[in-house]
Structure 1
C-alpha cells in the first residue's frame, strides 16, 4: 500500500459562480472550456417537477442498490468499473426506468442537452450520447448516496475512471480535456448533503501516490487536510456543474428523511468538433 500522505497536493485555482435562475448554455460551455470550475444555479427548475421526479424515483421498479463499493441506490447505468459491453447493455436495460423518472413531465435534463446541442451545432461542434456497437448511453442516471461516515459520498475525482475506461470506449479521449459533471437535485436532505469542492486537480502521479489510479476514489482526509475547499449549499430544484477533475465529495446528511436525490450526467470534448455525453 503506498504511503498515502507522502505527496503534498498542489493547490489549483478555482473559479466559482453561484446565482439564482435558469442555467445558460454559455455557462455550460465555460465549464467545458475550463473558464469556470464550479457553477451552482439555485432554483434552476421548478419544485413541482423536482417533487414528481423524486416520487417517480421512490416507486421506480428499476431502482437498485449499488454493488461497486460506493454506497447508495440508483436508477440507470454507470460506466464506473465496467467495460463498454457491460455498460451499454446496462444502459439499454435501464432506459425505460430512466424514462419513467420523468413520466409525462418536461424533462429538464433532456431540455438542457437539447439546448446545448443546438448551441454547439452553431459553433460547428457535434454533441451526442456516447455509443459503441453495443448501444448508446442514457441522458442521465438517478442516484441517492447513503454513505454514513464523514461523507455521504467520499472525496473523489471523475477523470481517473474515464481515463481508465478501456479501449472499447470512446470515453478515454475526454479525459485529456475537461470531464464535466452535471447534477440536477430533485430532493435534498434537511441538513448536510452539500457538494464540497477542493482546490486540487490530481495528476496521474497524485492518483498513484494515493492508490486510486484507476478509480479516483476515495481520497483520504489526511491527503486533503491542507487543501482549501468550498461547499455548495444545495436545495431541491438546484443545478450543480463542475469540472469533475477537481476532487469533490458529498458531506454527511441528516434530518427530514427525504432522500438526497441527484440526476447525474458527464460530458466533455473527445475532439475539438465532438462533445460526448454519458453516465
Structure 2
C-alpha cells in the first residue's frame, strides 16, 4: 500500500493568537492576511457610544431581514453565501442605503479600517478594492445578529468552502488559495456567551467531504471537533476580532441580559500578489 492509500486523520493546525487593548493596526491586519497570525482580538477598539448607536440603527433599520439560507439570524446587507454572483451583487446594490443607515452621522469604523489598509497596501504596490462584477459592487460590511438556540448561536464552520464554490462569475474564488480573513466589529454583546471559538483545525477538501460540507463549510459536528484544541475570544461591545477564516470557528451559546449579539462583518484576502479583494 502506498502513502496515497493510507487514510489520514484530520490534522491539528497550531493557532497563533494575539490579544490586546487599543486600536487595530494595519501591520496586524497584514500579518493575518499573510498567515503569520491566526486570530487577533483587539479590546475596546472603538467607542461604546459608536457601538450603541450602530445597535440602535440596526434595530430600527428598514432593511433588517431574517436569514433564509439555513443559518439562523437577522441581518442588514448582503451575503455571498449560497448566492450566485448576479444575485449577490444585485442584493448588495439594493442594500447599500440600509448599510449606510447603520452609521448615520457616525464615523464608520469599518470604512476607517478599509481606508487605512488601502493606503498602506498602496504604498506596497498592492491594490485593495471592493469585489465587483457587471451587476454591481460589494458593500464594505454587513450587520449580523445570530440567533441559533442550540449549543452554538452560530454553528462551527469554515469560510473557505463557500469562497471556493462561489462560482465562475465571482472574482473571490482566487482568494481561497491564500488567507480568507474574516473581520468582525462587535456593536452589542449578551451578558454571557456569544464568544468566538476557534479550533486548531484548518480543514482540507477531503475533511470537508468527510463532513458533507464541501460547498458550504457549515456546519461541523461537535463529535468531529472533539479531537481539536480550541480557544475562546471573550468579547465585549467595542471589540474587534480578525481571524483566518480557513480555521473552523463558531459562536458559543448566548444568554443573560437580553442584549442582542450584533456584529459588523466582512471578508478580504489576496486574489493576486498585487490585489486584495474585500466583500461580505
TM-score (norm 1): 0.97
Within 5 Å, which residues of 2 pair with 1:221-236?
Answer: 221-236=222-237
Q: In 2, distance between residues paired with 1:31 and 1:239?
A: 13
Q: In 2, distance between residues paired with 1:75 and 1:245?
A: 24
Moved over 3 A (4+): none
Deviation (angstroms), 1:7: 7.1
Deviation (angstroms), 1:14: 1.0
Q: How many residues align?
A: 274
Within 5 Å, which residues of 2 pair with 1:192-271?
Answer: 192-271=193-272
1:132 aligns with 2:114: no
Q: In 1, distance between residues paired with 2:213 and 2:111?
A: 32
Q: In 2, distance between residues paired with 1:226 and 1:36?
A: 22
Within 5 Å, which residues of 2 pair with 1:139-150?
Answer: 139-150=140-151
Q: In 2, distance between residues paired with 1:81 and 1:226?
A: 29
Q: In 2, distance between residues paired with 1:258 and 1:64?
A: 18
Contact 1:127/1:277 (8 A) holds in 2 = yes
Contact 1:22/1:45 (8 A) holds in 2 = yes
In the other structure, the counterpart of 2:43 is: 42
Q: In 1, distance between residues paired with 2:68 and 2:55?
A: 22
Q: Deviations over 1:134-155 (max 9, x none)?
A: 1100000000000000000000
**Secondary structure of residue in 2 paired with 1:110:** helix
Q: In 1, distance between residues paired with 2:136 and 2:42?
A: 32
In the other structure, the counterpart of 1:68 is: 69
Deviation (angstroms), 1:8: 3.6
Q: In 2, distance between residues paired with 1:8 and 1:98?
A: 43
Deviation (angstroms), 1:226: 1.1
1:94 aligns with 2:95: yes
In the other structure, the counterpart of 2:3 is: none
Q: In 1, distance between residues paired with 2:178 and 2:214?
A: 18
Deviation (angstroms), 1:235: 0.1
Q: In 1, distance between residues paired with 2:106 and 2:48?
A: 12
Q: In 1, distance between residues paired with 2:229 and 2:270?
A: 28
In the other structure, the counterpart of 2:24 is: 23
**Secondary structure of residue in 2 paired with 1:92:** helix
**RMSD over equivalenced CA pairs, Å:** 0.8
Q: In 1, distance between residues paired with 2:25 and 2:172?
A: 25
Deviation (angstroms), 1:262: 0.6
In the other structure, the counterpart of 2:53 is: 52
What stretches of structure 1 of length at least 5 have no aligned partner? 1-5
Contact 1:92/1:135 (8 A) holds in 2 = yes
Q: In 1, distance between residues paired with 2:28 and 2:172?
A: 23
